[in-house]
Amino acid sequence: MKLSLYSLLSFSKHHCRPWLSGVGVSLVIGVGMVLATSRPVLAVACEDIQCDRDSENYFSCNNKKQQCLRDKIAETQTQARSLQNAIDILQDQIAVQQLKIAQTRAEIRDLEKQIEELTERIYGLDLSLDRLSGVLVDRVIKHYKIATSNPVLTFFSNRSLNSSLAELKYQRLVQRQTAQTLAKAENQRLTYDEQRQLKQQKQLELDDLKSRLEQQTALLDAQQADKEELLRVTKNDEQTYQQLLAEAIADRASIERALSSVGAKVGDVGRGEVIASVGNTGCSSGPHLHFEAYKNAKVKDGKVVDKESDDPVQFKITDHLINPLDKINSGSFKHPLPGSTITNGFKTPYFLGIHTGVDFAYLHSDRVTRGQPILAADKGVAYLAQDPQLCSGFESNGVGKGMIVDHENGFVTLYWHIP
């Protein structure tokens, strides 16, 4: 969550300055924040579900195994909070992602085969059209010759009656064959156009699948890195995990209390205006800025609430929480601590929201983080925010304090750990 997650590992006895980026470490929070109830182990072992990639039932089998693993994850989340359960959840998430990648690759292979077949079909249609065009030209020439001849003169010419009748019959045959060739050529042309459009559509689908595969692969890499980071930070030690978890839960609860007890209105602030300075209050092991952003939100009656329903904001990506870096990178938000380093990023595993904001500090410069000015991300109305309780284990820091800015456009930002 904030620098408090890393007090055992990230700070020396003489310096309160973090050295870990901690983006992956934040998984400690989400993995641990589950209900401590006991459930029976799933009867079906997901590992026993074997899917043959060459089978016509591969996709349904793959989906079945994915669902089995998701059920297993949900089952583990209801069990006791432990490092092993956290690792199991991460491992199953990785397995689900690997199945998704395998499924996408299979879809890509199928599409590539369809495109290859369409290419061959289009080539054959192209040859057929060329051949029909040649026949049609020949028919048109013959038809022209017939059209320019006088059937009455032909009939009363010196040739025999039978010969004249045969020639008239031939003329009608040529005309009929020409019409048939024209119709066939038109049908071939329509089929050619349909197949070509179908190929273009399949090519677009293939491009989308390849893009999806890249995203899935990147997510898999991140999940594997998260697991390794969890093991590294906890040193695979249950006691360390439980201490980090307790700190994370306390820190999250501290912010939630502050959002439910917004203090006095400070007044209007402009974009980029100094509204506070960096401190170390509340559940924090060192000076830093914890920056959060909420959408569809507002400040009302001393609380941060939903813009429409007035219900308290929910710490879920689908409801109110957003990645503030997206707003900063797009230019919608002014950077609240320019030139600083991200010491803990915004991360949201699938099973539960974890680090709900972004932490900033000056780690790689001569500037001292404590006391540095914090800037308003955008114009709005500023309010004081304070946790009414001391954070267990960090009593010497005093209660957590911050600033909340209602931008009055559906966005609210939080600046936490100020003096």
Q: Which of 51, 416, 94 has the alpha carbon at shortest distance from 258? A: 416
CB atoms within 10 A of CB 26: 27
Q: How far apart are CA 146 and CA 152, in angstroms?
A: 12
Alpha carbon 134 to its chain centroid, in Å, reads 54
Helix (DSSP H) and strand (DSSP E) numbers for the chain: 7, 12
| 300 and 232 within one domain | no
User: Rounded to whole angstroms, what are the CA distances from 381 to 17, 167, 306?
Assistant: 32, 97, 17
In a domain, residue 20? The reply is: no
Q: Which of 218, 236, 254 is the last residue of a domain?
A: 236
Q: How far apart are CA 294 and CA 356, in angstroms?
A: 10
Given a contact cutoff of 8 angstroms between Cβ atoms, the answer to whether 399 and 389 are in contact is: yes
**CATH number, domain with residue 46:** 1.10.287
| 211 and 341 within one domain | no
Q: How many structural domains does the chain have?
A: 2
Q: What is the pLDDT of residue 226?
A: 75
Amino acid (1-letter code) at residue 376: A
| 371 and 304 within one domain | yes
Residue 65 structural domain: 35-80+82-236
Q: How far apart are CA 384 and CA 403, in angstroms?
A: 5
Q: Which of 212, 236, 260 is the last residue of a domain?
A: 236
In a domain, residue 130? The reply is: yes
In a domain, residue 25? The reply is: no
Q: What is the pLDDT of residue 160?
A: 54
| 274 and 209 within one domain | no
Q: What is the pLDDT of residue 17?
A: 33
Q: Which of 236, 267, 292 is the last residue of a domain?
A: 236
| 245 and 369 within one domain | yes
> What's the pTM?
0.53
Q: What is the pLDDT of residue 330?
A: 92
In a domain, residue 331? The reply is: yes
Q: What is the pLDDT of residue 43?
A: 43
Q: What is the pLDDT of residue 243?
A: 75
Is the alpha carbon torsion for 244, 249, 254, 259 positive or negative? positive
| 194 and 125 within one domain | yes
| 53 and 151 within one domain | yes
In a domain, residue 17? The reply is: no
Helix axes 83-148, 238-259, angle to 10 degrees: 70
CB atoms within 10 A of CB 106: 16
230-249, pLDDT tens digit by residue? 787 778 888 887 877 777 77
161-164 own/partner pairs: CB under 8 Å, 24+ apart = none
In a domain, residue 269? The reply is: yes
Identify the segments of the chain with pLDDT beneath 50.
1-43, 348-353
Q: How far apart are CA 409 and CA 12, in angstroms?
A: 43
What is the 3-state secondary structure of 275-333? EEECECCCCCCCCEEEEEEECCEEEECCEEEECCCCCECCCCCCCCEECHHHHHHHCCC
